[in-house]
Amino acid sequence: MFSEVLDKISWDETTRRIASKTDADVIRALRKEHLDVDDFMALISPAAVPHLEEMARLSMKYTQERFGKTISMYIPLYLSNACTNFCVYCGFNHNNNITRTTLNDQQIEEECKAIRRLGPFENLLIVTGEHPSVAGVDYIENALKIARPYFNNLSIEVMPLKAEDYHRLTQSGLNGVVCFQETYHRERYKTYHPKGMKSIFEWRLNGYDRMGQAGVHKIGMGVLIGLEDWRTDVTMMAHHLRYLQKHYWKTRYSVNFPRMRPSESGFQPNVTMTDKELAQLTFAFRIFDHDVDISYSTRENPVFRANMMKLGVTSMSAGSKTEPGGYASTPEALEQFHVSDERSPKDVAQEIRRLGYETVWKDWDKVFD
């Protein structure tokens, strides 16, 4: 399990090593075809800032060689905002006095139909709060079966599950699982997740191993930018990615670097990341791993997303609603966070074409697996 590996990696020492990287370390990393985590640390360090133009060129080169001039489109479908966790930064926090909504079968189907009217989406991300008795495995499996006739590629972002439950869901049409560790800082983790199942650091961290053991086709990873030092956190994620690739080599992987957005929680980020720093991180991750899918959600603003389309990003969401029933029924439910890019899927697709890229609405089918 990765928790055993992480135990041997010092957070403080990693932070110091990143800060100590030199111009020579950056140049050495840029000259290599295959990078290790130490090289990645050089590329995200302050020492790499003078080399951003070269990093951007390399990132674009590797992205086009592996993915062509394409952007894969997906859309999230929020089914429930019921949650037993007390994450201090989240609008779904159990303590928040909000209307709790969990969609029934008819409402789920209406949402699927409404999404299909928005655009020819085939990649659907099903999202729920983490509440086992309200949105447990049976509920998720049922939702997958309802959505399957409308979408070819189904992923979930729900509570971490047992390996046998992940395997069960793959038999009901599940293709991918997205799970954000939020932060890899073991000691500080409980500060942000004081109660609920999410407060158990190892259970969440080792969930990726359980996904791999269950044969999940694609695993999505991410840290929430705004909690701890972002350079150290993404370095831990780079270690994690290399570990997963070694142990579950048949699985595809994606990474996401969501910057904290305003929510009902009112939590103020401990650290901020500028657009320039997010661009640097995106370039560094593409140079570090040519095959990983790099995803940007509607958390990011339209201008920045457009600029990054050619420079490393390979998938984007569009037209997102982050409250249950947001596409069709629009109940008085609270959104998980406020989106920044509010353009329609049609507008985003037009922007992609204007930039000389092709919109890919469907990028996987079980028949080809």
Q: Does any domain span residue 43?
A: yes
**What's the mean pLDDT when you consider all of the chain?**
92
The structural domain count of the chain equals: 1
Q: Stretch 305-321: mean pLDDT, rounded?
A: 91
Q: What pLDDT is attached to residue 125?
A: 97
Q: Does any domain span residue 185?
A: yes
N-to-C CA span, the chain: 26
Q: Locate 234 and state its tokens.
A: 């993404």
Q: Does any domain span residue 355?
A: yes
Rounded to an integer, what distance in angstroms lies between the CA atom of residue 280 and that of residue 335? 30
Q: What percent of the chain has pLDDT over 70?
A: 93
* Residue 124, strand partner residues: 75, 154
For residue 92, give the nearest of 178, 193, 200 by alpha carbon: 193
pLDDT digits (tens, 9 = 90+) for 59-94: 999 999 999 999 999 999 999 999 999 999 987 888
Rounded to an integer, what distance in angstroms lies between the CA atom of residue 281 and that of residue 262? 22
Maximum mean pLDDT: which of 154-163, 295-304, 321-330: 154-163
pLDDT digits (tens, 9 = 90+) for 104-145: 999 999 999 999 999 999 999 999 999 999 999 999 999 999
Rounded to an integer, what distance in angstroms lies between the CA atom of residue 242 and that of residue 127? 26
pLDDT value at 151 more than 60 = yes
Count other C-beta atoms under 10 Å from residue 213's C-beta: 15
Rounded to an integer, what distance in angstroms lies between the CA atom of residue 238 and that of residue 60? 20
Band (pLDDT 50/70/90 cuts) for residue 364 is: low
Q: What pLDDT is attached to residue 333?
A: 43
Q: What pLDDT is attached to residue 367?
A: 38
Band (pLDDT 50/70/90 cuts) for residue 337 is: very low
Q: Does any domain span residue 97?
A: yes
Q: Does any domain span residue 309?
A: yes
CATH number at residue 171: 3.20.20.70
Q: Does any domain span residue 368?
A: no
Q: What pLDDT is attached to residue 363?
A: 63
Domain limits for position 76: 2-361
SS3 178: strand
Q: What pLDDT is attached to residue 338?
A: 56
Q: Does any domain span residue 366?
A: no
Q: What pLDDT is attached to residue 96?
A: 74
Q: Does any domain span residue 142?
A: yes
pLDDT digits (tens, 9 = 90+) for 25-67: 999 999 999 999 999 999 999 999 999 999 999 999 999 999 9
Q: What pLDDT is attached to residue 76?
A: 95
Band (pLDDT 50/70/90 cuts) for residue 340 is: low
Rounded to an integer, what distance in angstroms lies between the CA atom of residue 101 and that of residue 207? 26
